[in-house]
Amino acid sequence: MSVRKGLTSLVGVSLLLAVLAHFNTSLGVAPYLLVLATSVLFWVIQATSWNILSGYAGYFSFGQAAYVGIGAYAVAVLTGRHGVSYPVSIVVGGLLGALLALITGAIAFRLGSLRGEIFALLTLAVPFILAAFVRINRDIDGGLGTTLPLPAFPDWIGDFQHLIFLLMLAAATLAVGTALAVQRSRLGRGLSAIHDNEDAAEVLGVPTFRYKMIAIVLSGALGGLGGALLAVRNGAVQPELVFTLTVPLFVIVMAVLGGRRHWAGPVVGAAFVTVLQDELAAQKLDQWGNIILGGVLVVFVVAAPDGLFGRLRARPWLTVGVFVPVLAGLVLSGQYTELDALLYAMVAAIVVAVVVDRLRPVAASHPVPSRTTAAGTPPAVRTAPPPLSAPQPDSGRDLVAVAGLIRDFGGVRALDDVSLSVGQGEIVGLVGPNGSGKTTLVNLLSGALPPSAGTIAIDGRATVGLAPHKVAHTGVARTYQIPKPFASMTVLDNVAMAVMFGRTGASLPAARRAAADHLATVRLEHLAGQLPAALNLHQRQLLEMARAIAAEPVVLLLDEALAGLNPAEIDDAVAVIRRIHEGGISIIIVEHLLRVLNQLATRIVVLDRGVLIADGEPATVLNDPAVVRAYLGRQRA
Amino acid sequence: MTAVQAALSGALIGGLYALMAAGLSVTWGTLRVINLAHFGLILVGAYLSYQLTSAWGIDPMLTLLVSAPALFVVGAGLQWAYDRFNIVEFNSLLVSFGLLMIIIEVSTQVWTADFRHIDAGANPYGTSALHLGPIALPVSRLVALGFALLLMGGGHLVLERTFAGRGLRAFAQDRTVAASFGIDHRRLGLVVGGLAGVSAAVAGMVFALGNTIAPAHAYEWFGTVFAVVILGGIGNLLGSLFAGLGVGAFSAVVAVLWDPSYEPFVLFLAIILALVLRPQGLFTRRAAA
């Protein structure tokens, strides 16, 4: 389904809902249902807002209440105390939410070593600060909260309940539409890669900082807008009611329950949880509400971490087949209200979906591969790109030029004044004992770490100080010693990511076609539709290589790409490396197996305790007494 | 003088923050479980002390004889469940958030949302103070500091000096390698979870000595205690102790010199600043990579 088609259906559904709501009395729908529906829509906005950052990119926020609060207070202060018109104050509410998100993100995501848990706790602090700020500045809300005037609106809308329903519906449509568009866009693919493995995403060229900032600002704007509408609905604002931990609890439960990686997940979750809460209140069981919600959260994280929506979608007929008869049966029996019937039918469908999935876990858990294989190309037809005539080493043009490189970790000097150049068509073997600085050098070349001193130029462009994704765009690609695939994407899409975010960039369909070629180069085409979890170590290493060459680098850094492989696999991997080299890519390979390097490398560079001690022809270097000493230790007389 | 008085008595409250942070910090640092339910255990510890003191009229400190073993079992049970379902880091944050909700709601059902406090007659520590010249130090807070020094100093020594402590630190760094060297993480985990429960019992008891108790308190502790854990360095008990004292003194001075309502504002701004400048914690040495 294309983005446009999805958005069209979304708007259609919203218009239908709006018409239904407008004629609710003539249709015999209880006015009370309109109030409940407005509530559901408010939570759809909040859960969707939360999901755009926390679900797609995996940065969990406990700070949703901050957006709700700042939006609500924008309306309370501007309209309630200064008489500004509602449309203006509501828009300002959304803008302030975006601004708050911008500040939070600028602080949080600038921290290089920020871990997800720290982000979660940092966001936890934001609502506390805002609530304290409101309490300090009594003149913001007059000390006891602010009441709001009833908005003026044209008669054809109906009464106030209709107005607020329509406003919430419009905002929810905007929120869900945004989430849908983001999910289907480059941004969404990038956020998904950040969720799976942020380091790998960045070195493949995903501008992770910018993407996270866009996501958090969208999230803040939608959250603030929803908060502003909440103030209009409630007609009063108090710090205790908007800056409460119930807000993050609700949105997290809704998104986890519904599913975090699809736009529809939070919608399903918000509808279910809100109706459930309402039902509990109606049964005078509201004190059990939070206990049940807490329990649902625990059970779902343990039993169905991918959420309900995925389960329901994997078996749509079963879901509909349970939901519709149960709903019809309960309504026709006449013993239940429509709402009760709806709730019980939802519970029945959910229970069946979860239980069936528990019984047959394998069948439904990977709905993706079959679809992608169908969309991808038949593997057998395509062959590797025609090998170019093996390029001859040409040291006239330096693809990598490193001078005076120093890197300190605390008091330890991992690299000491290393200078090195790699020319077109070379395969340079980088060897040295453990701890000699090989991986540090790879990290500096790929931009993952900044040097303490010295210069690096890739293909003539200085890279020191560039973000890793910019370094990647100068023409460096790397593999990791421990493969870091994107776990939620198929093998084909892992490679397609690298094409999409590589130097030339491409749309997803074009990227998938190119990815199939790269998979053929490493002979993994038969596994294109699998998830990385199904691959063995050797295949994952090959996937790392396919992903790296898909970025169309001029120089490829292979960090111990042969570690842990058996002899047959090593021969296979060596053949792949040769093919990559014949495709015109220069290679720097970190490797301990000197036998392999002896065959493969055109040159060998030796590091010992951070110092470059030899650089030259394999045969010469490997017989150099200093090198032998570094490897085997000084011979004691 | 008021500032000195405030700083000192604030630092003593900081002893309580440190006690609350201890269990959280250790399970996060060694077992990679961010156990929000710990706040619920502290709450239950406080209520148990209140309940037993009211029912039997015993010294509040003696209630630890019941509440500490009880919460040891609960803490170990929680850790067993986290381990059984392989719940760490993010998921532990979510799961324990759900558990915390449940504990708080159940506490509300049992003890109502009203403020409870230990009857003055049964609480010899509640109102008395130690006078050093012009400075008055409430006894209940001295108790908090005493327990904090005892538990966290002791815990630090155990982690640094004993085989089990080294095993735990090894486990924290690399589970697989530690396991292959014969470290039984399950048993160690149960003990650590249980001891975290004991620290919650102590923190709850100390809280009940000097404060009224209500379920909503569990949320109010959130911010400050996490600040202490992060500033102290995750898993670093001595760091948490210093961070607790510092945070307590800092908030109290702000409250006295400025306005009590500024306290959370300034405190959280300070935390964010600290996170930006030293995300690894104030009291951790920068590890050489």
Q: Of A244, A261, A281, which one is at a domain's C-terminal end?
A: A244
Of the candidates A226, A283, A184, the residue with the CA atom closest to the CA atom of residue A41: A226
Residues of A with CB below 8 A from B101's CB?
249, 290-291, 293-294, 297
CATH number at residue A454: 3.40.50.300
Regions of chain B with pLDDT less than 70: 1, 126, 276-289
Q: Which of A241-255, A571-585, B16-30 has the lowest mean pLDDT?
A: A241-255
Looking at the structure, do residues A133 and A229 belong to the same domain, yes or no? yes
Cβ pair B90:A302 closer than 8 A = no
- Greater confidence, A177 or B125? A177
Residues A356 and A450 in one domain: no
Contact B93 A60 (CB under 8 A): yes
**Looking at beta carbons, which residues of chain B come within 8 Å of A249?**
97, 101
Inter-chain touch B261–A411, beta carbons under 8 Å: no
Query: CA-to-CA distance for B84 and B69, rounded, in angstroms?
Result: 22
Q: Decide if pLDDT at A363 tops 50.
A: no
Flag whether pLDDT at A370 surpasses 60. Answer: no
A75 and A65 in contact (C-beta within 8 Å)?
no
Mean pLDDT value of segment A415-423: 90
Reading the block at residue B117, the tokens are 């406090």
Is B261–A409 a contact, with Cβ atoms under 8 angstroms apart? no
B106 contacts A245? CB cut-off 8 A: no
The verdict on residue A384 lying in a domain is no
The predicted pLDDT at position A383 comes to: 41
Q: Which of B24, B28, B97 to mutate to test the interface with A (most CBs of A within 10 A)?
A: B97
Tell whether A10 and A112 lie within a shared domain.
yes
Q: Does domain B2-277 bear CATH number 1.10.3470?
A: yes
Q: Could you tell me if residue A385 is inside a domain?
A: no
pLDDT surpassing 60 at residue A575: yes
Helix ranges (H only) for chain B are 2-26, 37-56, 64-84, 89-111, 139-161, 163-173, 175-180, 185-210, 217-232, 237-257, 263-277
The minimal CB distance from B93 to the residues A113, A120, A411 is found for A120
Q: How confident is the model at residue A268 (pLDDT cuts 50, 70, 90)?
A: confident
Give the residue ranges of DSSP H helices in A360-408. Answer: 361-365, 368-375
Residue with tokens 């405030």: B6
What is the residue-wise DSSP string for A423-464? EET-EEEEE-STTSSHHHHHHHHTTSS--SEEEEEETTEE-T
Whether A101 maps to a domain, the answer reads yes
Claim to verify: residue A335 and residue A414 sit in the same structural domain: no
CB atoms inside a 10 Å sphere around CB A359: 8
C-alpha–C-alpha distance, residues B256 and A563, integer Å: 62
Please provide the size of chain B in residues.
289
Q: Does B101 touch chain A (CB under 8 A)?
A: yes
Residue A125, min C-alpha distance to chain B (Å): 6
A569 and A450 belong to one structural domain = yes
Lowest mean pLDDT among A52-61, A401-410, B221-230: B221-230
Task: Determine the residue of chain B that is closest to A107 in CA distance.
Answer: B276
Which pLDDT value is given to residue B176? Answer: 73
Average pLDDT (A37-58) is 93
* Strands A611-616, A603-608: pairing kind: antiparallel
Number of other CB atoms surrounding residue A390 within 10 Å: 10
Same domain? For A23 and A165 the reply is yes
Are B268 and A132 a contacting pair at CB < 8 A?
yes
Predicted pLDDT at A364: 35
Residue A271 maps to a domain: yes
**Which of these three, A226, A244, A262, is where a domain ends?**
A244
Same domain assignment for residues A138 and A169: yes
Percent of chain A with pLDDT over 90: 28
- pLDDT number for residue A230: 94
Measure the CA–CA gap between A373 and A599, rounded to whole angstroms: 37
Ranges A266-270, A369-373, B62-66, B191-195: which has the least confidence: A369-373
Complex ipTM more than 0.90, yes or no = no
CATH of the domain at A52: 1.10.3470
Nearest residue of chain B to residue A115 (CA atoms): B279
What pLDDT is recorded for position A144? 60
> In one letter, which amino acid is B185?
H
Q: Which residue has the higher pLDDT, A363 or B157?
A: B157
Q: In this prediction, what percent of chain A has a pLDDT beyond 70?
A: 90
- Tell me the pLDDT band of A634, cut-offs 50, 70 and 90: low
Asked if B270 reaches chain A (Cβ–Cβ under 8 Å), the answer is no
Residue B218 burial (10 A CB sphere; 0-12, 13-18, 19+): buried
pLDDT at A362: 39
A156 vs A229, more confident = A229
Beta bridge pairs of residue A586: A555
B261 touches chain A (CB under 8 A): yes
Q: Are A472 and A483 in contact (CB under 8 A)?
A: no
Are A30 and A47 in the same domain?
A: yes
**Is residue A123 located within the same domain as residue A34?**
yes
Mind spelling out the 3-state secondary structure of A64-126?
HHHHHHHHHHHHHHHHHHCCCCHHHHHHHHHHHHHHHHHHHHHHHCCCCCCCHHHHHHHHHHH
Q: Are residues A227 and A260 in the same domain?
A: no
| pLDDT in the model for residue A178 | 95
| Same domain assignment for residues A185 and A313 | no
| CA distance to partner chain A, nearest, from residue B58 (Å) | 33
CA distance A484 to A481: 9
Cβ neighbours of B230 in A, within 8 Å: 118, 121
Please state the domain extents for chain B.
Answer: 2-277
**pLDDT tens per residue, range A514-546:** 999 999 988 888 998 889 988 988 899 899 999
Maximum average pLDDT range among A341-345, A600-604, A628-632: A600-604
Question: Do B105 and A290 lie within an 8 Å CB cutoff?
Answer: yes
Which residue of chain A is at minimal alpha-carbon distance from B85?
A: A302
> Contact A437/A609 with Cβ under 8 angstroms?
yes
A182 and A129 within one domain: yes
Percent helix, percent strand, percent coil in chain A, to nearest 5 = 60, 10, 25
The residue of chain B with its CA nearest to that of A288 is: B105
Q: Which domain holds residue A323?
A: 245-365
Residue A510 lies in a domain: no
Residues on chain A touching B269 (C-beta within 8 angstroms): 129
Sort A18 into a burial class: Cβ within 10 Å, 0-12 / 13-18 / 19+. Answer: middle
CA-nearest residue of chain A to B272? A122
- pLDDT at residue B162, as a whole number: 82
Distance CA A26, CA A297 (A): 39
Domain count, chain A: 3
First vs last C-alpha separation in chain A: 75
Q: Tell me whether residue A389 is in a domain.
A: no
Domain edge (last residue) among A212, A244, A276: A244
B257–chain A nearest CA distance, Å = 15
Residue in chain B closest to A303 (alpha carbons) equals B85
pLDDT tens by residue, A300-330: 888 777 777 777 777 778 888 888 888 888 8
Of A31-35, A101-105, B88-92, which gets the smallest average pLDDT?
A: B88-92
Q: Does B284 touch chain A (CB under 8 A)?
A: no
- Residue from B31, B85, B105 whose CB has the most chain A CBs within 10 Å, to mutate: B105
**A114 → chain B, closest CA residue:** B279
Residue B230 near chain A (CB below 8 Å): yes
Tokens linked to B210: 């000097």
Interface of A with B (CB under 8 A): 58, 60, 107, 110-111, 113-114, 116-118, 120-122, 124-125, 128-129, 131-133, 135-136, 245, 249, 252-253, 256, 287-288, 290-291, 293-298, 301-302, 305, 409-412
The verdict on B112 touching A (C-beta cutoff 8 Å) is no
The pair of three-digit structure tokens given for residue A396, joined into one six-digit string:
């006239």
Q: Which residues of A touch B226 (CB under 8 A)?
A: 121, 124-125
Q: Give the A:B interface size as CB pairs under 8 Å.
A: 116
Q: Does B222 touch chain A (CB under 8 A)?
A: yes
Q: How far apart are CA B150 and CA B61, in angstroms?
A: 15
Closest residue of A to B106, CA-based? A291
DSSP run (H or E) holding A43: helix A31-50
A297 contacts B97? CB cut-off 8 A: yes
Per-residue confidence (pLDDT) for residue B47, from 0 to 100: 94
- As a whole number, the mean pLDDT across chain A is 83
Q: How close A186 comes to chain B (CA, Å)?
A: 26
Pick from B91, B101, B219: which is nearest to A293 by CB? B101
In a domain, A522, yes or no: no
Helix (H, G, I), strand (E, B) or coil at B113: coil
